[in-house]
Structure 1
Amino acid sequence: MRETAYAKLNLALHVRRRREDGYHELETLFAFVDAGDELSGSPAARDELRVMGEFGGALGEPFGNIAAKALAGLPRAQGLALILEKNLPVAAGLGGGSADAGAVFRMVERLAGLPEDWAARAAALGADVPACVRSETCIGRGTGTELEPVASDLAGCPVLLVNPRVPLATGPVFKAWDGVDRGALPDGSVRDIALAGRNDLEAPALSLCPAIGEVLAALRETGAWLVRMSGSGATCFALYDSAGARDAAREAMRASWWTMAGALR
């Protein structure tokens, strides 16, 4: 079996308030790129996980990562031997670990089916994991786990991801948020929401990682119709009207930056 762990984007991310439990109340528009990490798996006597790829070394102990936890948390009669090719940077705002976990859920579903409480099991692993299981455009509320699927008018839209190769942990970015509620997610089509929305974590992320500003400035020079940071950063994305414009933009980025070209699912 093979599954792509599709890179997650927040086309818009509105932080409304800090909750009593320490988490933040969010409204976000999730979208997914048709590229990401790659997982291959086969039935085995016991669960196994091997990690490879450009960013594999950043994960440390394989069975401490979220993909292994997803595998261990899903009941089935047979083990699964997985190879994870880590193509997405770690701590990058792309939900890489959550996407890996989502791909594990889909593999287990094909092999043995998922338990009825799979969504709760996914949420226990991380706020982005439930959205990553299906990897379809949706609106997330609460901590991001209350999902509302939406029909996307942006399927197939060319997208470029750029990361300055600076890891940025989520916790400090949320801590640096100024606490101001700037309003709800707008209504309309996915394109309308993306254009009228914002990412409330962009300013705090910029304060911690100024290189994000350099990436955003470079992308804004490429003719994209939308440029924004994803999640808590440091990855930024740009949406284009044509694959040619996206590919030309990729060529214009600094050689030292990480880039990935794809299309929205």
Structure 2
Amino acid sequence: MSLRETAYAKINLALHVRRRRDDGYHELETLFAFVDAGDELVARPALQDRLHVMGEFADGLDNPFDNIVAKALSALPHGDGWDVTLDKRLPVAAGLGGGSADAGAVFRLARRAHGLPDDWHARAAKLGADVPACVESVACIGRGTGTELEPVANDLAGTAVLLVNPRIPLSTGPVFKGWDGVDRGPMPEGDLRTIALAGRNDLEAPALALVPQIGDVLGVLARSGAWLVRMSGSGATCFALYDNAEQRDLAHSTLPPAWWTLCGSLR
């Protein structure tokens, strides 16, 4: 019997960087949201763990057998083993939490088949700052390094969203290193729409310095009829939110074919 799970793409509707901590990490306030599409995982019972990676962005994983999916499997009870096929549909190093989303999908698979241990949140956090949020893949607020999660009123479920990436990988480390260290204030309070509209992404400027093509994407999306356009995470993917799917699809039809795109809805 096989189990299937979608690794939902993560976007940061807002991302406020407050300070660099003594341990080298950054203190964050972020608003997580998730798109109803992403990578696909299929798990089948096996005598030992095996991982097969396929899909458009499979080549972006330097060592698929040492990636976060394999690490998530080793961190969770799942019987003798699983034979997992990962269809890598999201670009790598793109600000979409692709690896974290894959790990979150493994946690959901393990929960369905065997249940999760009481300390699952700590196990998820050890794999990456975005992983705890990706386990549930529902809109929430993240604080600390992003692992301290709080619920938020989700008034944007079903909102039409368009993701666009100029097909340029952008590693998180250099973007955070380029942050100017200025605390521009806390993330506002309220529901998803209120926080998103009043929030910002403090990593947008350093990401633009490294990949100026992000500005091209933001400029095109800003003229597409969206009511919110922003870069996600540390980039280089940008998102646009629309009043309806027709507006989103019309905007999508005008984009340069060389860019990677995904049309979906917020969960």
TM-score class, shorter: over 0.9
Which of the numbers 62, 69, 72 marks the counterpart of 2:71? 69
TM-score normalized by the length of structure 2: 0.98
Name the structure 1 match of 2:179: 177
TM-score normalized by the length of structure 1: 0.99
Which of the numbers 48, 51, 54 marks the counterpart of 1:49? 51
Q: CA deviation at 1:12?
A: 0.2
Which whole-Å CA distance do the structure 2 matches of 1:77 and 1:205 have between them?
A: 42
Q: CA deviation at 1:62?
A: 1.7
Q: CA deviation at 1:151?
A: 2.5
Name the structure 2 match of 1:140: 142
Judge which range, 91-100 or 54-63, deviates more: 54-63
Name the structure 1 match of 2:5: 3
Which of the numbers 121, 139, 155 marks the counterpart of 2:157? 155
Q: CA deviation at 1:228?
A: 0.1
Residues 94-109 of structure 1 aligned to structure 2 (within 5 Å): 94-109=96-111
Percent of aligned positions that are identical: 72
Q: Given residue 237 of structure 1, which amino acid in structure 2 is its aligned partner? A: F
Name the structure 2 match of 1:81: 83
Q: CA deviation at 1:47?
A: 0.8
Name the structure 1 match of 2:263: 261
Q: CA deviation at 1:57?
A: 1.1
Name the structure 1 match of 2:169: 167
Q: Given residue 22 of structure 1, which amino acid in structure 2 is its aligned partner? A: G
- 2:151 paired with 1:119: no
Which whole-Å CA distance do the structure 2 matches of 1:44 and 1:167 have between them?
A: 34
Q: CA deviation at 1:257?
A: 0.2
Which of the numbers 202, 205, 213 marks the counterpart of 2:204? 202
- 2:253 paired with 1:251: yes
Which whole-Å CA distance do the structure 2 matches of 1:253 and 1:65 have between them?
A: 32
Name the structure 2 match of 1:229: 231
Judge which range, 178-187 or 72-81, deviates more: 72-81
Q: Which SS does the other structure have where 1:70 is aligned?
A: helix
- 2:16 paired with 1:14: yes
Name the structure 1 match of 2:39: 37
Which whole-Å CA distance do the structure 1 matches of 2:89 and 2:253 have between them?
A: 19
Structure 1 residue runs without a partner (length 5+): none
Which whole-Å CA distance do the structure 2 matches of 1:223 and 1:77 have between them?
A: 50
Which runs of at least 4 in structure 1 moved beyond 2 Å after TM superposition?
75-78
The Cα offsets for residues 59-116 of structure 1, whole Å up to 9 and x where unpaired, read as 1222111111101111333311110000000000000000000000000111111111
Q: CA deviation at 1:185?
A: 0.5
Q: Which SS does the other structure have where 1:160 is aligned?
A: strand
Structure 2 residue runs without a partner (length 5+): none
Q: CA deviation at 1:212?
A: 0.2
Q: Which SS does the other structure have where 2:239 is aligned?
A: strand
Query: Contact 2:30 / 2:187 at 8 angstroms: preserved in 1?
Result: yes
Which of the numbers 11, 18, 29 marks the counterpart of 1:27? 29
- State the Cα RMSD in Å: 0.7
Name the structure 1 match of 2:221: 219
Equivalent pairs counted in the alignment come to 265
Which whole-Å CA distance do the structure 1 matches of 2:227 and 2:24 have between them?
A: 35
Which whole-Å CA distance do the structure 2 matches of 1:184 and 1:60 have between them?
A: 37
Query: Contact 2:153 / 2:190 at 8 angstroms: preserved in 1?
Result: no
Q: Which SS does the other structure have where 1:127 is aligned?
A: coil
Q: CA deviation at 1:150?
A: 1.5
The Cα offsets for residues 111-159 of structure 1, whole Å up to 9 and x where unpaired, read as 1111111100100000000000000000000000000022200000000
